[in-house]
Each structure stands twice: as structure tokens, then as C-alpha cells.
Structure 1
Amino acid sequence: MITDSSAARRARLAGMTASAAAMVVLVSACGGTGGGSASPAKNFSYLSVTENTTVKTALTTLSKGACKTAQDAQPLKVETVPQASLDQKLQLLAGQNALPVQFAAGNAPALTQQLAGSGQVADLEKELKKLGVYDQLEPAAVSTIKALYGGKLDVLPYEYNIEGIFYNKKVFAANGIAVPGTWAELTSAAAKLKAKGIQPFSASGQQGWPLTRLISGYLYRSLGPDALKDVADGKAKLTDPKYVKAAAEVAALGKKGYFGKGVGSIDYDTAMNQFLSGKAAMLYMGSWALANIADPKQDTVGAANVGFMPFPAVTGGTGSIDQYPSNVGLGIALGAKSFDKNTGDWVSCITKNYGSTALKDQGAISGFKVNADVKDASEVAGQVRQTISSSKQNVLWFEALFSTKATTVSQTNAAGLVNGSLSPEKFMQTVQDALSSK
């Protein structure tokens, strides 16, 4: 659902982790009292990343329409930096007590949390409630942000994605397969498809994360929404039997040939193409894939023939099938010292109108409510949007709370897990060792 280039979108969303960068140390000026209160901002300054054009485009549209009054009082001014340079730029500006009014949050939530701890990031829950617009955020998006930012609403959800399994409705119907509600039903459906000569799943082993997300999906359904938080908090280890079980279940899919041949060499675009061209019946992916599904040049199956289902339940598990893995892309924070009345007017207008504008003009789903009657691009797009609106508690993904090292180890070894060169025990031990190393 994002209009950035596919490579940039994948780097930002698909591989995004809550610990995607090591904890950075801000210059000492961040921790001090700074230069006192800042004077009112002349512009609604917004520091974005070059790779993302969605937010800038939507804000520009709002500045000329629904938010023109806010624009007249505090004109929108956009500056961009490459995403790779964002953290360094934010640290520099924070050290100079010169953060813009609004800015793309750091690549790892740890940076934004440090800025918030030093009083430089606005408490958005407090500010939005004061403005009377807190209810304009989708509860699921709030849940995701708080899970990433230590219980705080440190960023606004200009983007919002949930993950699940896209499936070919035509293939399912032709083979008498109902939408699986349990893991056992999913594996049974895969076996039936394989027996008919149909590849059950498409996945990128080269990327790694589409496979590890299947592990976290199983963990969340079997052990509940705190399964990976318990690992991060030291209450559990990936080498515990119940955790290894999840890796073993995913490894079994590969052993039975459900991912097709050479999954380790399949890249993201090829995996997407396998599904959209009808060569595979299912694809685990995030809702950003709706943009690909809506493109008839890519989707020869046809958007009308694509369905979306949640990761299935695990019999006897404590997780809920309506807890969807989710992310907010690169969240947007606001400076605490420049949050004045004019900024408040902008924020009020954004929360009420951004969701509709981004969806109508760019087909992008955000974490803001859609207050206008906007037609969805397809039935599956409407289904996903409705799912987001009705979801109350979401979960993260396998590497969300991992260190950079553990994330890399996890994703580079995922293909080995499903092609049989790495046992489930060895895979989980390798990742746990990376988590435990300093």
C-alpha cells in the first residue's frame, strides 16, 4: 500500500525491526536541559526520508485543501535525507536543540525513546487527548506503537500494515479447500495442493524474513502475544522446547516441498510473482502487497481472485487468531518544544483527514481512521482495511525485539531451516546465541 519504490519499501517495511540498529548514544546536549523553551515555529517543518514520498505527497495535498487554515498559519516545509543518514541527522539536530516540528523517527525505536527520555519528543497521547482527536487513531495502530516504544505513543501512524496469508480463491475453490482456521487445516490444505501438483506456498528464502515470520506466527498462536517479549525479557529462550516446536513446524513445510524448489535462492520479487501469476496458492505477506495485487500488470490472477486470511490458530494454544502481526513503517514523531497551538491545529487536521486522503489518492492504508467514503481498490483491500479497523490487539514479528546481530543471523539462516541443512534445534540455538552475545 506504499507508493515508494519497491526496493525502498521492502527495506523499510519488510525487513524493519524494532532493533534494526544498535542503540546509539546521543551527544551530551540531548541529555541536558538545552537552551530553554523554543520560540514558536514559523513553519510546520517536516524532516522526511528521501525514499518515502507517500507522507509528503499526502501532507502537501492536505495543505492545499482540508488543512489550508493550518497551512496559512504555519506553512508546511519539507526537508528530506536518505534513510541511511536519518539517525545521524536526528542526533545532530537534537544536540543543537533544533529538531523540526515533525520528523521521521529513527530507524530503531531505541533512538526515539532516548529523544523522548530527554524531553525532545512530544507525548502524543497527552497532546491528542488534549486536542480531542485521540479517537481518530485506529486502536490496533496504537497497540502496535506502544508495543514498539515501551508503552508510549511516541509516533503517529502515517503508515500501518498487518500481515497474514494471501491466497488464490480460484485455486482453493477448484480443489475444494475451505479457508483454514487452524494450523492442522493449513498443512492439510498444503498437502492436498501438493498432491495435485500445485505449489502451496511462495516465499523468499533469500530475504529470510518471510520464513521467520511463520515461526513467530506459530509462536504467537501457541504461546500467546507475549511469546517473543518473554525472550527479550529473559523469561524464556528460543531453545526452550515449545519455541523449537515452532521452528520444527515451519521446517516440516520445507521438508515436504511446500515452498517449491530452490526457496533459498528466491528473492522478494520472484516470490511475489509466483503468487500473482498463479504458480503458488498462498503467500505470507504484509498488507503493503495490496499495491502489487491492484496492479493488473503484476497480478494476472486478478485482484477479485485473491483472499486474505489470518495466521491460523494452533490447537490448544493461548494466542488468538485475531491478533495480527503489524508495523507502522517509519513512524513520525513531533518535537516537544515546538508543539504549540499552530502545530496542534495541524495535528488535529491530520488525524481527521490523513487516512481518507492517503487511501483515496495513493491507496495507502494508515493508522488513522478513514472519515470519508473512499472506495477500496478491491474486495481484498476492503477486507484488510476492515480487519485493521476491527482489530484491538496486535503482535509484532519474529525479529522485532532482536538485536541487529540476531536479526541478521535469523534471516540469513532461515533458508537453511526449510531446506533441511539446519535442524530446528540448531537454528534456534544459533539465533539465541546471537541474542545472548554482547
Structure 2
Amino acid sequence: MKKKLVTVTASVLMLSSVLSACGSDNKENNASPSASPAASPSASASSPAPSESAPAPVERFDVSLRHIQIGELQKFRKAILDEVVQKAETEVPGANFEMDAVEDSFNRFTKLPAEMAAGNPPKIFDLFGGPGDGQKYARANKLLDLTPIIEELGIKDKFTDYSTFVVDGKVYGLPIGAGSEGWFYNKEILEANGLAAPTTLEELEAAFATLKGKGITPIAMGSQAAWVPFMLLNTLIPRYAGEDIQAGVADGSRKMTEPEVVAALAKYKEWVDKGYFTKGELGIDYTGQTNEFIAGKAAFLFDGTWRISTFNADGVGAALNGKVGYFAMPAVPGGKGSQKAVNFNQNNGYGFSSDVNDNEKAAIKAFIKNLYTEEYQVRGYQEDGVLPSMKVDASKLTSDNPIMQQVLASNAAAEGVVFPHFDSLVPGAVNGEFEKQIQNLIAGKTTPEKAAEEIQKALDSELAALK
């Protein structure tokens, strides 16, 4: 399956996640208990007429808001969220947003599913699109239909793509940003070891071998959460099997057991066996992976373009400011399809509970109104190094960030072809089996062939259930 590359400038692919800006008061997990103001004394004969009295006190109501912006790496994104919440509270009398920070994977795969099953999700929550998450909850009537809200706000046609949140023509979630992944590299480490930025797979693997031979970890990796190494496989597989493999596997027209898919899994396993990834990666989380790279303990990092701001002068990785480069996954010799295709992800955003009253719905509308604006989309690009999920005046998207410039150049060479992430297209059980097999592959508990078979079995079972 081929999609046209979304552009906001002549060379821009719509990329990553949320936005950054100035902060406000931190209300994280410590909002005071909900309490209504004391009732006013009953009116007496001497009381002034209602039209002459002061406005009646507004009764406070709480709106639970689940987000995943935790820690220093997410500080810019948390700041923008705080600002949006403050604006929404100002606009909706009595509204009090109760912020609840939960780690991404735990929220997506454990906490939110349990809350959905019990019928008590937060009113606003971080939500992933696709059949395994947003579309599944929408079909179960757990999500608020946002169609009338975004029509009223005049933003229904402002998004570049929210298709993974759509069911039967209705919109049930809104993406915060777009995302793609590629290789970040430490310029100083490469230069010190006589290496140039790789332009081919052969050069990339030669760099890995050289660094490993000198006792330097080639690739920072934290595979405690399987979605992290999944990013790399999400690109390797289409390089070998073609950019239509993800959608083909999802609809049953292609198979995970195809030789090219197995070859991609085998290449990943080869890199594991050669010790190219961080030692003990299964015990290292996503933050730990980033810290390994920041500390100069690894030369390469495969990550999303949302990581750019980490290496700014005011970022957590300021020690690497001006010392980091970026390039897309090189072509695979003999690979199918476009070897200049770029992976694409516009699936992470916010969803809203269908179980809301009029006050809560007003607060939700204010939240959407304030978050999804051109102002914040542009500020997110300029301050946090991410590209918009909404249509933005291209003249406002400028950057003097050298990493961003490399991203733009890389995307300009992408020939207009993108491919989606596997987990945005398949049911949750299939995604879970894929992640299980990735970790088994890393741990040496399976082979590429067996892993592919197990993923295909899970997919066949899900497809059969839909017939």
C-alpha cells in the first residue's frame, strides 16, 4: 500500500508527537478533593432580587486527564499540556482538570484496557489509533464521538490524517503529532574512529563492526518495552519486503512468513548475536536507552524524530548539542519496493470517554479548542523539534536546527512514499504477539522463522474471528 507523503514545506514529512511551550502550575496527581462551595443562605424577604445580586458561585467539577508526559525527556510536552489545561480551566467556570501521569506502555496495554473493561476510564486520556486501540474502543461505544465538536470548532478539515481514529465515518480521537524514525549518531565518536556517516547498509554494518571491535557499543537500545526495538523492525521489514507489507499482512493479502520478512527478522537477530546493541537491553527502558546515547556510551540511536529537542542547548542531552547527526534507514540490497520510503506514524493522540455530562463535555471542548491550534502546532515545531499533525502555514515552519535540517533533507529524498507502523493496522493480540516474539528473538528463545510463524498464527486467528 502506498500513500502520498504529507508535506508542509517542499521537503517536510509530517512527523512526531506532542508540543512544547511555557508551563503553568503543576497539578500532577495532587489535585485537591472535589468539593462544592458552601451553599448560600436562603434568600429572605430583605434579600435583593436575583437580578440585583452578585453572580451565583460556580460549583467546581473535576475532569480526569491521563497523560504520558513523564520525566525530563518529556518536559517540553508536559509544559504545553499544562498551559492548555490552564486555558481550558479559565474558559469553563468550575472546571478542574485532575492530571494523572502514567507510563506509556502501562497505560496503553494494561491500565486503560482494564478501565475500559470496567467502564471507568478517565474523561480525557492518551490514546493510540488503529484496530487494537482507538477503533476497538469506539466500536464498543467507550469513546466520545468528536465529529460534532470538531465541526463546531471548525477544525475537522485541519488535520493531515486522523484515519486510524475513524469508525463508520465518525471521529473518535485526534492525533497530537506525526512521527517517523531514523538513525541518530554521535559525530564525535564516528570521527574519532575514522568513520563517516553511513549512506548504505554495508557502510552502516561496517561502522557497527569497527566500533564493536574497539569496545564501543554501536547501538543504544532499551528493549524492556518491546515497542522500542519494534521501531527498528518496523523499518527493516518494509526495506526487505516492500512498503506495502504492513498493510498487506494486516488485511491477509501478505504473510509474515514470506522469505523477505524472515530475512528482516534474521538481520535483526544477526545484529543481536554480534553484540551491536546495548548489553542487557532487555533490562533497560526507553529512558535508559536515551541516557546511554547521551552519555556517549553508544554511537547510534534508532529513534523517532521527536527526540531532536533532547539535543538542544536546553535539552536533557545538551552535552551533545551540535554533535548529533541523523539519516534515514539505508537501502537494503535486493529489497522489494521503494528503498527510499519513509515510515510514518500519526496514531498517538487523545481520546475522550463517552460517559460524560454536559459540564465535562464543555471542558473537553475547551481542551480540544486550545490544544489543536496553529499557534501550538508551530510552537511545537519551533520549540520541541516536531512537525505538525495539522495543516499549517508552511511559511511559519522554519528551523535553524541542524538535525531538523537533516531530517528535512532526508524526507525530501523519500520520493513521496510512506508506510504505516504495523501496530497501527493490526488487532492488539497480533501486536502483542509481535512484541513477544521480538523479545524472544533478543533473548535467544526463538528463531526468525519460528517468530514469523507465531505472529502469523496470531494474525490468522484474528482474521478468522472477523469472518
> Are the equivalent residues in 2 in contact too, given 1:353–1:370 (CA < 8 A)?
no
- In structure 2, give the amino acid aligned to 1:317: K
Q: Which moved more, 1:85-94 or 1:164-173?
A: 85-94
Change (3 A) 1:194 1:343: closer
- The match for 2:377 is 355
The superposition leaves residues 193-251 of structure 1 with CA deviations (integer Å, 9 ceiling, x where unpaired) of 33343321111233233333322212222333321221121122212212111101111
Given the alignment of the two structures, is residue 220 of structure 1 paired with residue 243 of structure 2, yes or no?
no
- Structure 1 361/218 Cα, relative in aligned 2: closer, same or farther at 3 Å? closer
**Residue in structure 1 matched with residue 267 of structure 2 by the alignment:** 249
2 and 290 in structure 1: CA distance in 2 versus 1, 3 angstrom threshold: farther
Instruction: Give the 3 Å change call, closer, same or farther, for CA 234–57 of structure 1 in structure 2.
Output: same
Q: CA separation in 2, counterparts of 1:384 and 1:124?
A: 36
d(CA) in 2 for partners of 1:119, 1:414 = 31
Cα offset for 1:167?
A: 1.0
How far apart are residue 412 of structure 1 and its match? 3.5
Identical-residue share of aligned pairs (%): 23
User: 1:330 and 2:349 equivalent?
Assistant: yes
Map of 1:21 onto structure 2 = none
In the other structure, the counterpart of 1:162 is 180
Aligned mate of 1:379, from 372, 389, 402: 402
In structure 2, C-alpha distance between the alignment counterparts of 1:133 and 1:360, rounded to whole Å = 24
Q: Kindly state the Cα deviation for residue 331 of structure 1 after the two structures are TM-superposed.
A: 3.1
1:401 corresponds to 2:419: no
> In the alignment, which of 60, 81, 84 is matched to residue 59 of structure 1?
84
What is the 5 A alignment of 1:71-150? 71=91, 78=97, 105=127, 108-111=133-136, 113-114=138-139, 121-123=145-147, 127=151, 131=154, 134-135=157-158, 137=159, 139=160, 142=161, 145-147=162-164, 149=166
Matched, 1:434 2:458: yes
Q: Secondary structure at the match of 1:134?
A: coil
Cα offset, 1:256, TM superposition? 1.9
Check the 8 A contact 1:264/1:416 in 2, yes or no: no
C-alpha deviation, 1:408, in angstroms: 3.4
Q: Structure 1 132/407 Cα, relative in aligned 2: closer, same or farther at 3 Å?
A: closer
Deviation for aligned residue 1:77: 6.2
Cα distance in structure 1, aligned partners of 2:168 and 2:321: 37
Which residue type is aligned with residue 307 of structure 1?
A: G
- 2: CA distance between counterparts of 1:378 and 1:187? 28
> Where does the alignment leave 5 or more consecutive residues of structure 2 unmatched?
1-16, 21-59, 70-77, 463-467
Q: Is the 8 A contact 1:49 1:86 kept in 2?
A: no
Q: Which amino acid aligns with 1:278?
A: G
Quote the residue 1:185 is aligned against. 203
Contact 2:256 2:262 in 1 (8 A): yes
2:384, 2:148 → 1: CA distance?
26
5+ long unaligned stretches in structure 1: 5-42
1:411 aligns with 2:435: yes
Match of 1:286 in 2: 304
Q: CA 1:399/1:63 → structure 2, altered by over 3 Å: closer, same or farther?
A: closer
Distance 2:240 2:148 in 1: 34
Rounded Cα–Cα distance in structure 2 between residues aligned with 1:119 and 1:270: 34
Determine the structure 2 residue equivalent to 1:425: 449
| Other structure's SS at 2:136 match | helix
- Please say if 1:197 is aligned against 2:203: no
Post-superposition shift, 1:60? Answer: 4.0
Contact 2:181 2:343 in 1 (8 A): yes
Aligned mates of 1:147, 1:106 — CA distance in 2: 8
Distance 1:150 1:227, change over 3 A: farther
Matched, 1:49 2:74: no
1:354-409 CA distance string (max 9 Å, x none)? 21344567676542356696886953256557878998664333433344344333
Q: How many residues align?
A: 382
- In the alignment, the residues of structure 2 paired with residue 382 and residue 125 of structure 1 have an alpha-carbon distance, to the nearest angstrom, of 36
**RMSD (Å) for aligned C-alpha atoms:** 4.8
Q: 1:306 aligns with which of 320, 324, 329?
A: 324
Per the TM alignment, residue 187 of structure 1 is displaced from its structure 2 partner at its CA by 1.8
**In the aligned structure 1, how far is the partner of 2:425 from the partner of 2:412?**
25
What letter corresponds to residue 216 of structure 1 in structure 2? N
Could you state the TM-score of these two structures normalised by the residue count of structure 1?
0.67
Change (3 A) 1:198 1:408: same
Aligned in 2, Cα 1:242/1:388: closer, same or farther, shift over 3 Å? closer
Aligned partner of residue 200 in structure 1, secondary structure = strand
Deviation string, structure 1 residues 145-178 (Cα, Å, up to 9, x no partner): 3256479665332243322221112223334434
Change (3 A) 1:257 1:348: closer
Shift of 1:47: 5.9
Which residue identity does 1:354 align to in structure 2? Y
TM-score, structure 2 normalization: 0.64
Per the TM alignment, residue 319 of structure 1 is displaced from its structure 2 partner at its CA by 3.2
Equivalent in the alignment of 1:34: none
Asked if residue 233 in structure 1 is aligned to residue 251 in structure 2, the reply is: yes
